[in-house]
Amino acid sequence: MSSKRAPFIVIEGLDRSGKTTQTSLLQSKLESAGIATKLMKFPDRTTTIGQMIDSYLKSTSELDDHVIHLLFSANRWELASTIESLLNEGTTVLCDRYAFSGIAFSASKIVASSSSSADPVVPKLPFEWCRAPDIGLPAPDVVLFLDIAPEQAKQRGGFGEERYEKEEMQARVRKLFERIGEETSSSSLNPSPSSSSSPTAAERLPQDGRNTLDWVIVDAGKDVESVSAELWDAVYPLARDGTNHPIGKLWA
């Protein structure tokens, strides 16, 4: 890879969209192709901060909404320099959830009086406030967003065990992810694909030389192997070739 660095690849998506399944498959495939890869996951429940988050998500502790949001962000900051070192050493970083989940989940919380369909929906935490603590984190080179309808996700194993796994909240989270994806893509210097047909994930990858990340939507409702093949096409050229571009700073 000479003077190039390795790419930072984030997989985002709704609950049960298959992030854990797909990041682990991708890691195996990359390593079989001889590409050093580090798999990371947020929240990282192994750190002291991560243990506080884990206990909150399992509803064994209560925290103010502001506090838990800041803990999720702090959990990323405590690993920010590790991410940068790995990329500079030539290790591809594959990350299961990142700051985008941070905004989508916290900004989807609404005040109790707006939970009935007759009331206007009032967020507890403003979108911009939710984004602020993550400004300046290492920016991924690409975000692969696993998109799935909440009704389909619900049919998959384990849904409903943790605090945020409620269908109404997942629907709001999905809308917020759409907003984040649009804002992220529109801030890209890359021209949008000119073809009117749906481009594959690989066709939508950023060209080297761009100065911001790209947001690629992947249909996660397909079978495991089809999703994995699409992710592989998107990730392999980037991981094989590396990039000359310096590590960006998120939203900075």
Binding positions for ligand Z5A, rule: CB under 6 A: 13, 15-21, 42-43, 57, 72, 97, 101-102, 105, 156-157, 162, 164-165, 223-224, 227
| Dihedral sign from CA coordinates of 6, 188, 197, 100 | positive
Can you name the residues that pair with 218 across neighbouring β-strands? 146
Question: Helix 65-77 crosses helix 48-57 at what angle (to 10 degrees)?
Answer: 140
Cβ at position 4, least distance to ligand Z5A in Å: 28
Tell me how far, at minimum, the Cβ of 225 lies from ligand Z5A, in Å: 8
8 vs 42 by CB, closer to ligand Z5A: 42
Is 17 or 92 the residue whose CB approaches ligand Z5A more closely?
17
Q: Please name the residue ranges forming H helices in the chain.
A: 19-32, 48-57, 65-77, 80-89, 99-106, 127-131, 150-154, 167-186, 224-241
CB 146, min distance to ligand Z5A, A: 7
213 within 8 A of 139, measured Cβ to Cβ = yes
Separation of alpha carbons 192 and 136, rounded Å:
25
The smaller minimum CB distance to ligand Z5A, of residues 101 and 185, is found at: 101
CB of 229 to ligand Z5A, least distance (A): 12
Residue among 164, 52, 165 at smallest CA distance from 106: 164
Residue 102 or 181 with smaller CB distance to ligand Z5A: 102
CA–CA gap between residue 128 and residue 3 (Å, rounded):
36
Rank residues 227 and 239 by Cβ distance to ligand Z5A and give the closer one.
227
Closer to ligand Z5A by Cβ: residue 5 or 49? 49
Quote the least distance from Cβ 215 to ligand Z5A, whole Å. 17
Q: Is 118 exposed, middle or buried (0-12, 13-18, 19+ CB in 10 A)?
A: exposed
* Cβ–Cβ under 8 Å, residues 77 and 47: no
**Beta carbon nearer to ligand Z5A, 19 or 172:** 19
Q: How far is the CB of 113 from ligand Z5A (least distance, A)?
A: 22
Show Cβ contacts of residue 105 under 8 Å, excluding neighbours closer than 6 positions.
164, 173
Residue 117 CB, nearest approach to ligand Z5A (Å): 22
